[in-house]
Amino acid sequence: MITTKTYHLDYVFTHPKFLARIKKLTLNPNSGMNFELNSLAKISMDKKIDAKALCLYENSELIAWALVSNEKSNYWFSIQQYRPDKGTLFEVFVAPIHRRKGYGSILLNKARKLYKNLCIAPWDPRSDKFYKSNHYEADVHLAKTWEPSLCRDLALEKMFTGPKDPSINVVQPKPVSMN
């Protein structure tokens, strides 16, 4: 049985075992999601934060989770930093053995119900395909997953023709220098 639960990150940070579970699930201790978790944990010591963990369980096993945040980020995605005035940061991770079953889409749709505009950061061609299949082809460009040689003005213009969904906020990235 598949279930989802939403946790405020303030709750997550006061439950170290749970925090360790979601960090371990992302596999890479240096991932953008874990960087955000560490940064948000520090911020939460001084104030209540506007961030949540959307968790997906198969029976009682945590198999996927998404981070949604409206807090300023110090993480530099490959194109730009996340800015809360552009929408809500959305990052998702599904355990490799549970991918391609629609679980990431479930979390993405849950986030869309909670927040109007999502800022996404695809990190590889597979995640880029995931967002495109969910009609997020041109959502806020915090990261690129294409070849650097393609990042010329003309290629960028073709790639960022606009979202298919009017609720998606598009931010044009700065052209990448090829020097």
- Residue 44 tokens read as 């939460």
Q: How does DSSP assign 4-23, residue by residue? A: EEEEEHHHHHT-HHHHHHHH
- Residue 125 tokens read as 């061609």
Q: What domains can be seen in the chain, in order of their start residue? A: 2-159 (3.40.630.30)
Whether the predicted pLDDT of 110 surpasses 50: yes
More confident: 165 or 1: 1
H-helix or E-strand spanning residue 164: none
pLDDT in tens, 118-177: 888 777 777 778 877 877 644 454 544 433 323 323 333 333 333 444 443 433 333 333
pLDDT in tens, 9-38: 999 999 999 999 999 888 777 787 888 899
CA distance 114 to 80: 24
Query: Which pLDDT score, from 0 to 100, does residue 81 have?
Result: 67
CA distance 134 to 14: 33
What are residue 12's phi and psi, to 5 degrees? -55, -45
Dihedral sign, CA of 101, 64, 1, 4? negative
pLDDT in tens, 130-144: 877 877 644 454 544
pLDDT in tens, 47-85: 999 999 999 999 999 999 999 999 988 776 655 667 787
Give residues with Cβ within 8 angstroms of 160, minimum separation 6: 138, 141, 170, 172, 173
pTM confidence score: 0.74
Q: What angle is formed at CA 96 by the lines to CA 91 and CA 98, rounded to 5 degrees? A: 95
- Residue 14 tokens read as 């006061």
